[in-house]
Amino acid sequence: MTITIVTDSTAGITDADAWASDVAVVPLHVIVGDSSRLEGSEITADELAADLRAGRRAGTSMPAGTDFESVFRAARDSGADGVVAITLSGEISGTARAASSAAEIVNAEWGDGHINVLDSRTTAAELRFAVETAVLAAESGADVDAVAAAASAVLEESNSYFYVDTLEYLRRGGRIGAASAWFGGALAIKPILQMRAGEVAAVEKVRTSGRALRRLVAIAEESAHGHPVEYVVQHLDSYDRAAKIAERLKQSDMCVSSTVREVSAVIGAHVGPGVLGITVVPARTGDLTAQPPSGAE
């Protein structure tokens, strides 16, 4: 059985990811001034960070539904038995809705049940982990529903926490979510935030960046709940600080791996340079289509 995995560009998958060579990536758009560019092929995270530091405003826009239709039809025409599309959160982007609408259209042509669209209710490294899990499940011979279930199980057990130098970028893009209550004192606080129920939520606020980063690490370690985990430290134009955090996390008792990744340009447009985040995912072992969530009896 051949299942095609589809995702969007906020997962940060590139040509360098050999495991994702058959993953279809639908790009979002980054808008700087009057210029709209496709994420990945026409603008990188580093280029976006330079634009933001130069004072240029950036926005984003979702893919068209026809972009997903084209990808779904290409999978069908190539002989795939089905498609699992995993998108960033529908609470912060219309991408999931565009994919679902496209799936309805192509399923009507192909036959119901061939395309399963999963709203990850998150983005960036958590989305990437879900896609990687889906790829491995598909390679094991799982069908559409089992592949989607494997990805969903990983998402249920994953957490992402992040620190921003300012809430201004989130406010501009309308992605500030439940953290909006903090905006009035944004210049006086250093917020720690979380992706929760698909949107940005407030976790803690502290007065200095040093304390914020120490708390960010502590919260990530606590979220392991005594189970082996994988950490991904994410950043935009702040590699040195991210690398130090990753090294600190490697000393954690429950750490299986700790790596550093730069967020995509679309994510960067909404969080700004200097963002630092930690994604915590249960360490993956054995059969991904049958593995229970971490902590399950």
Same domain, 123 and 245: no
Does residue 106 lie within any of the structural domains? yes
CATH of the domain at 123: 3.40.50.10440
Residues 233-285: pLDDT tens digits?
A: 999 999 999 999 999 999 999 999 999 999 999 999 999 999 999 999 999 76
Q: Determine the Cα–Cα distance for residues 84 and 72; give it in Å rounded to an integer.
A: 9
Q: Are residues 130 and 175 in the same domain?
A: no
Q: What is the pLDDT of residue 290?
A: 37
Indicate whether 17 and 124 sit together in one domain.
yes
Same-domain pairing of 165 and 149:
no
Mean pLDDT confidence for 64-81: 98
How many Å apart are CA 117 and CA 101, to the nearest integer? 10
Judge if 100 and 232 occupy the same domain: no
Question: Which pair of tokens denotes residue 125?
Answer: 């490294």
Phi and psi angles of residue 173, each rounded to the nearest 5 degrees, phi first: -85, 0
Same domain, 232 and 152: no
Per-residue confidence band for 286, with pLDDT thresholds at 50, 70 and 90 = very low
Tell which of 156, 191, 211 closes a domain: 156
Helix (H) or strand (E) holding 154: helix 144-156
Of the two residues 125 and 200, the one the predictor is more confident about is 125
pLDDT interval class at 172 (50, 70, 90): confident
- The one-letter code for the residue type at 201 is A
Which tokens is 219 given?
């919260």
Angle at CA of residue 24, ends 38 and 9, nearest 5°: 35
Q: Which domain holds residue 185?
A: 159-282
Residues 18 and 74 in one domain: yes
More confident residue, 255 or 187: 255
Phi-psi region of 295 (alpha: psi -120 to 50; beta: other; left: phi over 0): left
Q: Are strands 190-196 and 199-206 parallel, antiparallel or unpaired?
A: antiparallel
Indicate whether 292 belongs to any domain: no
Q: Rounded mean pLDDT of 90-111?
A: 97
